[in-house]
Amino acid sequence: MREALFVKQNTERWKQYENSATTDPDELAERFIAITDDLAFAKTFYPKSNTTKYLNGLAARFHQSIYKNKKEKGNRFLEFWAAELPAIFYKYRRQLLYSFIFTVVFTLIGVVSAKYDNTFVRLILGDGYVNMTNDNIAKGDPFGVYKQESPALMFMGIAANNIYYSFLVFCWGAFFSVGTVFQLLRNGLMLGSFEYYFFSKGLGLQSILVIWIHGTLEISSIVISGAAGLTLGNGLLFPKTYSRLQSFKQGAKDGIKMALGVVPIFIVAAFFEGFVTRHTGMPLWLSISILSASAAFITWYVVIYPARLSHKLTFKNTLDNEDDY
C-alpha cells in the first residue's frame, strides 16, 4: 500500500484520537492497540517517513496516559461521575443535541395537535386521567393527582418506572436509532399535549411552577437516555474506520454508561415528585429556586463541565507531548 493511501484511509481516525481526549481506560487501551498496529505497519513499509514519526509520537502519548492512569483504580466510582461520564457527554454532544431537538420538536407537535384536535389530549393521556384532572380542577385542586398516594410509595413507583423507561429508550436504539426516535416521539407528544391541556384551562404558569419541580430533571434525563439510544444505534449505522461490530460494541458500552449515569438524577426527580410536588401551595420563591437549581445543574454537568474538562485534558496532553520532545 502506498503511503498516501495509508494516510488517507486513517488520518480521520488519528485526528479524532489526537483531538478528542478520553478518560475511559477501555477506549484508551483500544486506541493504543490501534495506533501501535498502525505504527508497526508504518515502520515496516515507511521507516523514515514523517508518518512514522507522527505515529510514534501519538503512541508515546497514549502509553504515557495509560501509565499515568494506572493507579486510579481505588476511586473508580468517584472517577466515573467526576470524569468518565462527563467525558462521554462531551464525546457524544451531537447525540445529546439531536435528542434535545427531537424532544422539543415532538413536544411542539403535541401542542399543535392538542390545539387543533379536541380529541388528541384524551387520545394521548387517556380518558381516565383527563376526567380525574377535570374533577380535581372543579374541586379547586388541579394537581391533586400528586397527593393521592403516600410519598414513599409514590417515590419508589415513579423511580422504578422512570429508570425502566430510561433503559427502554436506550435499548430501542438497537433498531438503527429509529426505535429511540420513536420513544422520544411518544414522550414528546405526551409532554406537549399535557402542557397544552393545563394552558387551555388557564393553569399554564401554575403547571410550570408545580410540575416542573420534578419535570426539569425527569425530562432532561429522558433526553440523555435518548442520546444513549442514538449512540447505540449510530454505532451500528456509522462505523467510520472501525468494523461495524467493533463500532456497535463501543456505542453500546458508552450508551449504557449514559443510561446508568442518569439513574441518580431520576431518583432525585422521583423524590421531588413524591415528596415535594404535592405541596402545590409552596411559596413562589421556593418553587422557582428548585426549578432554577435543577436546570442549572443539568446545564453545568451535561454541557459546561464536560466541555471544560475535555479542553483541560486536551491542553494537558498537548503539554505532556511537548515535554516528550
Is this prediction's pTM over 0.75?
A: yes
Per-residue pLDDT of the chain (325 residues; tens, 9 = 90+): 788 888 888 888 888 888 777 767 777 777 878 888 888 888 888 888 888 888 888 888 777 766 655 454 547 778 899 999 999 999 999 999 999 999 999 999 999 999 999 999 999 999 999 999 999 999 999 999 999 889 999 999 999 999 999 999 999 999 999 999 999 999 999 999 999 999 999 999 999 999 999 999 999 999 999 999 999 999 999 887 778 888 898 899 999 999 999 999 999 999 999 999 999 989 999 999 999 999 999 999 999 999 998 888 765 555 554 554 4
Contact yes or no for 168/184 (Cβ under 8 A): no
Is residue 260 a part of any domain in this protein? yes
Same domain, 45 and 136: no
Query: Based on the domain organization, do 40 and 134 belong to the same domain?
Result: no
Same-domain check for residues 242 and 287 = yes
Q: Are residues 250 and 299 in the same domain?
A: yes
Whether 151 and 9 share a structural domain: no
Question: Is 164 part of a structural domain of the chain?
Answer: yes
207 SS3 class? helix
53-69 residues labelled b (16+ CB within 10 A) or e (exposed): ebbeebbbbbeebeeee
The whole-number pLDDT of residue 66 equals 65
Question: Same structural domain for residues 137 and 286?
Answer: yes
Rounded distance, CA 42 to CA 54, Å?
A: 10
Instruction: Give the pLDDT confidence score for residue 318 in this predicted structure.
Output: 55
In a domain, 152, yes or no: yes
Helix 305-324 to helix 50-68 angle, to the nearest 10 degrees? 120
Residues 44 and 180 in one domain: no
Number of domains in the chain: 2
Q: Is there a single domain that holds both residue 100 and residue 60? A: no
The parent domain of residue 46 ranges over 3-78
pLDDT tens digits along 216-245: 999 999 999 999 999 999 999 988 777 888
Give yes or no: residues 59 and 117 share one domain. Answer: no
**Residue whose C-alpha cell reads 372543579 in the numeric block:** 138
Examine residue 293 and state whether it is found in any structural domain, yes or no. Answer: yes
Q: Does 91 share its domain with 55? A: no
| Residue type at 70 in one-letter notation | K
